[in-house]
Amino acid sequence: MTDPFAQVLPQAFHFSHLQGTQFVLLLGIIMFFGALGGRIFQKLKIPQVVGYIVIGILIGSSGFQILRLETIIALNPVNTIALSLIGFLIGAELKIDVIKKYGKQFIGILIGESVTPFFVVGIFVTLVAYIFMKDFKTAVSFGLILGAICAATAPAATTDVLKEYRTRGPLTTTTLGIVAMDDAVALILYAVASTVVSPLLGGQGQSFGMQMLNIAKDIFGSIIAGSIFGALVTFVVKNLMKDEGRVLAFGLGGLFLSTGICIILGLDNILAAMSLGFFMVNFAPAKTRPIFSLVEKFTPPIYVLFFVLVGAKLNIWVVTPVLGILAIVYVAGRTLGKSIGARLGAKITKAPQTVHDFLPWCLLSQAGVAIGLSIAASNDFENSIGPSVILIITATTFIVQLIGPVCVKHGVTKAGEVGLAITEDDILKSSKVKDVTWGSEKICCADSHAIVSETEKICHILKNFETHHNQSFAVASSETGKLSGIITLEHLKETLMIGEFADTLLAIDIMDKPICTCSPEDSLPDVYKKFSDADTESMPIVDNDGKPLGIMEKFAADHYLHTRILEINRKLENMA
């Protein structure tokens, strides 16, 4: 079936070659519409990565073909850069203390979620393929090859969702560990499967021993290359560079140099980047660690380009009905196998309940390694099942790349890990005056204890001071109810010094005019700036009519921020 949208746009809108100004224009189209699509889907409570992929589908091979296949292929270096950055940041999450804590769980779950779908998909696909093809050897070959490929999980879409929703906790840690390692298991399973399939289809593939030797070279060579460049980057950043811009430039240069050399040597650039990140986070001095946050700030536009191109590559119009059925069986078997395997591994290793219940939701994405293995299959078995394997993996990637991120969001949300990867500065930037609390008590409300009348006796205010946290009070006019003044801790100290005479004083007698005020909608950064500019520790909170709603005190804002961080840390401890 041909693409019905391919000829909708005039020829001038189709980019079949990448040259000169077209390159800049294409980058603009991809980034502008990709970012727009991501934002629209984010507004719909769907992970932004789905929006990027949908835009790619619309402008790529399955849609209006603004990006022709030749152009998409020419932009492949963008994919390489994005995957290297993703590998580097995943490596940064694999701290040795985390591996010691979760290592047993990682291995148990990894084996379960990789091997179980291999058997489930293998059996299901073999049965369905035999029903349609009536050829047992071909059916078994399909089952083994697709079973091996299904073990791989795409780290890119998964980590993008975890980053977008600022997740942290046992489920997030386990997910990052698993998606970082199960590609290696998929490579080993493919070596085993292709060795068995080759004689069944009359091929002359490599021996099992030779394939395992190549896999060992790929894995260990990549780890060594990444570690060497990790040591080099660490040495230079530690001894020669202080400026953030130079640190970022040199760090990215080292990462991309490692990636380029791995490509030339035929090694796995993602694994090398992961090793580079792992080396730096575990063995480099602490003062080099800011490189990770700098690289993370650099990644958003690269991610937009990457996922739009992922969508653009997918062509759903080349799938026949039989292959479509096999694709559906593959997705169903892979989902079932990963769910059973992940839960079984979590139960055996006594992982936290959230990992047992929700990890399967985080392991559905499929992309790079699966497509790479399907290409390998098309080369190894080009005269038999190879072309069909590519079409099935393409079709299933189309499906799981759309539903995978949504499932990841569901899993981490249900596990209660959304919004836990935040710092005190993040809370400060996202909080407003109306959000601040002292314990369970909001400081901004019409019946606040910090609001007193002009005619309130000082002795009553002192009693209020003794029983509540407030050290300052907003004074409301007895006639209009609007703010008329502020009583600070210094005023109260002065009244205590004059003894019994203070009992005859009223609030209006000791109050001052407020230097500044804030509203419930003011952000905390703005409030802290007012504290600094006015050289004060407190200010009244007023509504649009000028009526007091409480008092904002610097120590109360500090207490709120510290309490939020403690609550998050306590929640993480309980999860673990």
Quote the pLDDT of residue 10.
54
Q: Which residues contact 207 (CB under 8 A, 6 or more apart)?
A: 195
For residue 79, the one-letter residue type is: N
Q: Between helices 48-59 and 155-164, what is the axis angle to 10°?
A: 130
Q: Would residue 378 be called left, alpha or beta, if left means φ above 0 and alpha means ψ between -120 and 50 degrees?
A: alpha
Quote the pLDDT of residue 246.
76
Which range, 186-195, 306-315, 411-420, 567-576, is most confident? 411-420
pLDDT higher than threshold 90 for residue 343:
yes
- Domain residue ranges of the chain, discontinuous segments joined by +: 48-421, 427-575
pLDDT higher than threshold 70 for residue 73:
yes
| 18-64 pLDDT tens trace | 666 677 888 888 889 999 988 898 888 878 877 888 888 888 877 77
CB atoms within 10 A of CB 12: 6
pLDDT higher than threshold 70 for residue 241:
no
Quote the pLDDT of residue 411.
92
Percent of the chain beyond pLDDT 90? 13
Tokens of residue 15, six digits: 């980019």
pLDDT higher than threshold 70 for residue 6:
no
Three-class SS state of 67? strand
Instruction: Please state the rounded mean pLDDT for residues 128-157.
Output: 85
b/e burial code for range 101-114 (CB count within 10 A of at least 16 → b):
ebeebbebbbbbbb
Instruction: Please state the rounded mean pLDDT for residues 493-507.
Output: 67
CB atoms within 10 A of CB 123: 14
Q: In this structure, are strands 451-453 and 473-476 parallel, antiparallel, or unpaired?
A: parallel
Entry field: residues in the chain: 576
pLDDT higher than threshold 60 for residue 204:
no
Instruction: Please state the rounded mean pLDDT for residues 238-256.
Output: 77
- How far apart CA 528 and CA 148 sit, in angstroms, is 57
Cα distances (angstroms) measured from residue 319 to each of 147, 152, 314, 403, 447: 19, 22, 11, 19, 66
Percent of the chain beyond pLDDT 70? 90
- 215 or 568, which is more confident: 568
- How far apart CA 363 and CA 114 sit, in angstroms, is 10
Per CATH, the number for 48-421 is 1.20.1530.20
Do residues 117 and 342 make contact, with C-beta atoms less than 8 angstroms apart? no
Quote the pLDDT of residue 286.
67
427-575, CATH topology level: CBS-domain (3.10.580)
- For the ranges 340-344, 406-410, 455-459, 538-542, the lowest mean pLDDT is seen at 455-459
CB atoms within 10 A of CB 305: 21
Quote the pLDDT of residue 503.
67
Nearest to 376 by CA among 521, 513, 205: 205
Three-class SS state of 411? helix
Quote the pLDDT of residue 57.
83
Quote the pLDDT of residue 212.
73
Confidence of residue 3 (pLDDT cuts 50, 70, 90): low
- How far apart CA 368 and CA 346 sit, in angstroms, is 26
pLDDT higher than threshold 80 for residue 368:
no
Confidence of residue 13 (pLDDT cuts 50, 70, 90): low
Cα distances (angstroms) measured from residue 64 to each of 57, 305, 391: 9, 18, 20
Q: What is the mean pLDDT of the chain?
A: 82
Three-class SS state of 385? coil
Confidence of residue 501 (pLDDT cuts 50, 70, 90): low
Quote the pLDDT of residue 208.
63
Confidence of residue 119 (pLDDT cuts 50, 70, 90): very high
Quote the pLDDT of residue 401.
78
Instruction: Please state the rounded mean pLDDT for residues 436-441.
Output: 86
Three-class SS state of 511? coil
Strands (E), 16-123: none
Confidence of residue 341 (pLDDT cuts 50, 70, 90): very high
Quote the pLDDT of residue 523.
92
Confidence of residue 567 (pLDDT cuts 50, 70, 90): confident
Instruction: Please state the rounded mean pLDDT for residues 82-102.
Output: 78
Quote the pLDDT of residue 489.
74
Which range, 154-168, 180-194, 291-305, 512-526, is most confident? 512-526
